[in-house]
Each structure stands twice: as C-alpha cells, then as structure tokens.
Amino acid sequence: MHKPQIAAEIPAKNPGHKTRRGAFKAICPARTAHIVVDLQNGFVEKDAPVEVPAARLIMPNVNRIIREVRRSGGLNIFLRFTHDPDEAMPWIIPGALRPGAKGELIRKAFAKGSYYWQLSADLDIGAADVVLDKTRYSAFIPGTCELQSALRVRNLDTVIISGVLTNCCCESTARDAMQLNYKVIFVEDANAALAEAAHNGTLDNLAALFANLVSTEELVDSLA
C-alpha cells in the first residue's frame, strides 16, 4: 500500500483549513455516496492489462468503507471503466484508449461484458448498491456516465472517493465533484496508483484545493 505524504508547503500555504483535513465537520451519512472507482478485474488482477498491484492492497480498506457507508444509511456506487464503440459521444482524443496495439488491448479488455471489464469479485457488493458504466476518466462528463443523475435524484451532497487510479479516474472524478458543489472526501489509503509519486502528487493537488483528505480509520470513525 502507498505511504500517503502531503508536501510540507501545502499546509503552510493553507493554514485556515489545514489541507482540508476535517474541513467538513458535519457530514450527513444519509446524504453521502461512496464512489468506488474502477476496481475491475482489468486493474486489480495479477498480470491484468492495466495491473495496479496496490489495488489489491487497498481492497480491505475499500470494503470496510463500503460496509460502514451501508450501515450508516449512505449509498455505495461502483463505477466501471468501459469501452463502448457505439456511445453517443465518441472519445475523439482517446487518452488510454489510444490507437495501436496497446490501445486495442485496452479496448478489448474493457469492452462491455468482457472478463476484465467485470468488477472484482473481492468487492463487497450488495443488492441495494448502484453500478454505473463510464467511458471517460471522470464520471461527471455529461453523456458518458449517469453518476450526476444518480446523486441528484437521491439529493446527495457528499462523495467519498476510493479506487484506481489515484492520479487518473479518481482524481478526475474528485475534481469535477468539487466544482459541481459536492463535498469531496478522498481516502488516502483506499486509492491506488501505479507509483508512489503519482499517488502522493494527487494528494498534494487535492489537499490544496479540491478535497478533504482522510484515512480509512478517520472516515469510519466519523461515519460511526
């Protein structure tokens, strides 16, 4: 698991909210959604097309949060990174789905219905939980995921972010959530990247402006 570390100059420049740790003093569990980002076979399993070894290490923390959110009356939402060639808004600048052999491997791996597209069997998914597909890094891009609608129809105002990759889909979703007026809680030991520096770079970015950074232990205590 990554060792979370925020650059020393960030709290020094933001003494008022101390890197936003504890910035949201009153969280209503019933208005909170835990967004589990892309913990699919294609990211979690050994030798998967986009294997993230740290994803396997964070799974106990993610499941602990899932169970506590469920117990406290919140909603768990599981996102699946999806390649859909028939989507209404094709990804013209394709990022990870780039042309070439590597891009084709990823497109096949995350095509709807494929084995690697499926959510990891290690996740504690319940009957009342919500599963949504997304075709971009951020789950808030209109026309590419139903996350915004799922939150609005339930009048939810707070999102907890866990999953992979810390510095890609998780960070993108967290940033957009904050700009859409959601309170954002980013769990520093329940997100995973391909490298320690990438993980902690995101923590620096989010702590400065976008999110409340907490550990799994701190989050579970606050929900309890």
Nearest to 95 by CA among 189, 201, 197, 172: 172
Average pLDDT of the residues in 39-54: 97
Judged against a pLDDT cut of 90, whether residue 19 lies above it is answered with: no
Per-residue pLDDT at 12 exceeds 70: no
What is residue 23's predicted lDDT score, i.e. its pLDDT? 60
Residue 1 lies in a domain: no
Report pLDDT for 100. Answer: 63
**pLDDT of amino acid 27:** 81
- Identify any residues that bridge with 36 across adjacent strands, giving them in sequence order: 78, 162
Residue 141 belongs to a domain: yes
Domain annotation covers residue 161: yes
User: Would the pLDDT of 174 be above 70?
Assistant: yes
Tally the domains of the chain.
Answer: 1
pLDDT for 70-97, tens place per residue? 999 999 999 999 999 888 888 776 555 6
Question: What residue type is 60 in one-letter code?
Answer: P
pLDDT of residue 147: 98
The answer to whether position 2 is within a domain reads no
The mean per-residue pLDDT over the stretch 188-194 comes to 97
Contact criterion met (CB below 8 Å) for 58 and 189:
yes
Averaging pLDDT over each range in 4-8, 89-93, 214-218, which range is the top one?
Answer: 214-218
Dihedral sign, CA of 55, 56, 62, 67? Answer: positive
* In a domain? residue 16: no
In a domain, 41, yes or no: yes
Residue 8 lies inside a defined structural domain of this protein: no
- What residue numbers bound the domain in which 51 lies? 22-223
Domain assignment present for residue 116? The answer is yes
Alpha-carbon span 60 to 38, nearest angstrom: 16
Residue 39 to residues 75, 166, 193: CA-CA distances in angstroms?
17, 12, 12
Q: Which range among 9-18, 25-34, 79-88, 97-106 shows the weakest confidence by mean pLDDT?
A: 9-18
CATH number of the domain where residue 107 is located: 3.40.50.850
Please tell me the least confidently modeled range out of 101-115, 120-134, 150-164, 172-186: 101-115
For a pLDDT cut of 70, what percent of the chain falls above it?
88
